[in-house]
């Protein structure tokens, strides 16, 4: 899966500008499914028909990533910016951002800040493209950029920007590749605009009208120095969500995932996440409600340009989803 993951994380796609990443994913999944559509918000929704097809299972991963957007370009050609999703100034300074037209920018920090011991605010940072004036600046107000880092695979870890949530996209593509015929229809939504408010998943789930849904996304861990206590570690298996800050996973879906993991001998962890949420929170309250769960890939340094996941957790996430599709076909 390494080359697939590389392709996905290195493709441009901040929230609202998902055309490129959608085209890359579409090319991967089109040969694997029975139909493909793009809804009004830009969600890529594919279906693999079941042998009977009376029920619908929806799987979701968001294809957008965090980033920045230009708010102002000054007369010297330096750009000020706002955040797209959760961006910390701490992970910005000295970093590189890339725009849709390929322009690279370096994020600089005002030197004459009042209290230099304090964490700077985003509005004390600027993007330097090397331009010398507003006129020759290759970027303009409203242009979006993503952080730029290439993928590194080191021992059993992947390190990259946008593993949140391209790793979920990779897991769902791989699941479609390995999926055996099922009784029920399997829908997969590669959703837009998660990072700014779970918007894509809301319309895509409404359109699919699933009987059961599972979002695949990353979650935090409790295995780094002096971090908040959390019973999730890298490499100990996919995490089955019990609760996060915006949802309680539907107990039947959570149990289906636990039983599928136990049946296949897949290691798993139970996840209670204090801060943060996923598309699952939006899906479960669409229409008259959808029983929804979430499969989380343990991830360190979330929303930094160097997120980290373990390859065994990725592989076990694919196996777990295949088990869930099979088990739901037999028992659902
Ligand atoms: Co995120
Ligand atoms: Zn995410």
Domain that holds residue 106: 67-147
Domain end among 80, 115, 147 = 147
Query: Any catalytic annotation for residue 180?
Result: no
Q: Is residue 52 included in any domain, yes or no?
A: yes
Q: What is the pLDDT along the chain (332 residues), one digit of tens a residue?
A: 999 999 999 999 999 999 999 999 999 999 999 999 999 999 999 999 999 988 999 999 999 999 999 999 999 999 999 999 999 999 999 999 999 999 999 999 999 888 888 899 999 999 999 999 999 999 999 999 999 999 999 999 999 999 999 999 999 999 999 999 999 999 999 999 999 999 999 999 999 999 999 999 999 999 999 999 999 999 999 999 999 999 999 999 999 999 999 999 999 999 999 999 999 999 999 999 999 999 999 999 999 999 999 999 999 999 999 999 999 988 76
Peptide bond into 296 cis (omega under 30): no
User: Coil, strand, or helix at residue 289?
Assistant: coil
- For ligand 1, the distance from its centroid to the CA atom of residue 303, given in whole angstroms, is 6
Query: Where would I find the H helices in the chain?
Result: 2-9, 19-29, 163-178, 199-208, 251-264, 279-283, 311-331
- For ligand 1, the distance from its centroid to the CA atom of residue 181, given in whole angstroms, is 32
- pTM above 0.95? yes
Return the closest-CA partner of residue 89 out of 105, 104, 109: 109
Domain end among 100, 115, 147 = 147
The number of folded domains in the chain is 2
Decide: 143 and 70 in contact? Cβ < 8 Å.
yes
- For ligand 1, the distance from its centroid to the CA atom of residue 114, given in whole angstroms, is 31
How is 72-83 classified by DSSP, letter by letter?
A: EE-TTS-EEEEE
Are 238 and 309 in the same domain?
Answer: yes
- For ligand 2, the distance from its centroid to the CA atom of residue 166, given in whole angstroms, is 8
Domain end among 104, 123, 147 = 147
- For ligand 2, the distance from its centroid to the CA atom of residue 287, given in whole angstroms, is 23
Catalytic entry in 10, 18, 28, 194: 194
Phi, psi for residue 314 in degrees, rounded to 5: -65, -50
**Cα separation of 294 and 271, whole Å?**
10
């Amino acid at each position: 899966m390494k080359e697939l993951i590389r392709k996905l994380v290195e493709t441009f796609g901040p929230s609202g500008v998902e055309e490129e990443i959608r085209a890359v994913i579409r090319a991967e999944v089109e040969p694997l499914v029975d139909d493909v559509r793009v809804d009004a918000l830009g969600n890529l929704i594919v279906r693999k028909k079941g042998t009977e097809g009376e029920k619908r299972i929806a799987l979701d991963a968001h294809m957008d990533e965090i980033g920045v957007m230009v708010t102002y370009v000054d007369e010297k050609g330096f750009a000020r910016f706002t955040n797209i999703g959760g961006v910390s100034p701490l992970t910005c300074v000295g970093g590189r951002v890339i725009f849709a037209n390929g322009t690279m920018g370096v994020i600089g920090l005002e030197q004459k800040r009042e209290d230099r011991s304090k964490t700077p605010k985003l509005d004390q940072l600027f993007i330097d493209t090397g331009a010398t004036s507003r006129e020759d600046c290759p970027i303009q107000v409203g242009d979006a950029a993503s952080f730029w880092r290439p993928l590194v695979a080191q021992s059993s870890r992947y390190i990259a920007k946008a593993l949140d949530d391209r790793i979920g996209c990779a897991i769902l593509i791989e699941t479609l590749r390995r999926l055996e015929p099922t009784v029920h229809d399997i829908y997969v939504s590669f959703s837009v605009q998660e990072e700014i408010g779970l918007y894509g998943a809301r319309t895509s789930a409404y359109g699919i009208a699933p009987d059961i849904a599972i979002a695949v996304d990353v979650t935090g861990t409790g295995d780094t120095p002096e971090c908040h206590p959390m019973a999730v570690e890298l490499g100990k298996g996919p995490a089955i969500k019990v609760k996060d800050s915006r949802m309680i996973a539907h107990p039947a879906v959570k149990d289906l995932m636990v039983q599928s993991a136990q049946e296949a001998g897949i290691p798993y962890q139970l996840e209670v996440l204090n801060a943060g949420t996923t598309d699952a929170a939006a899906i479960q309250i669409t229409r008259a409600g959808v029983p929804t769960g979430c499969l989380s890939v343990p991830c360190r340094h979330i929303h930094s340009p160097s997120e980290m996941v373990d390859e065994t957790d990725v592989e076990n996430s694919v196996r777990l989803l295949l088990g869930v599709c099979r088990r739901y076909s037999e028992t659902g």
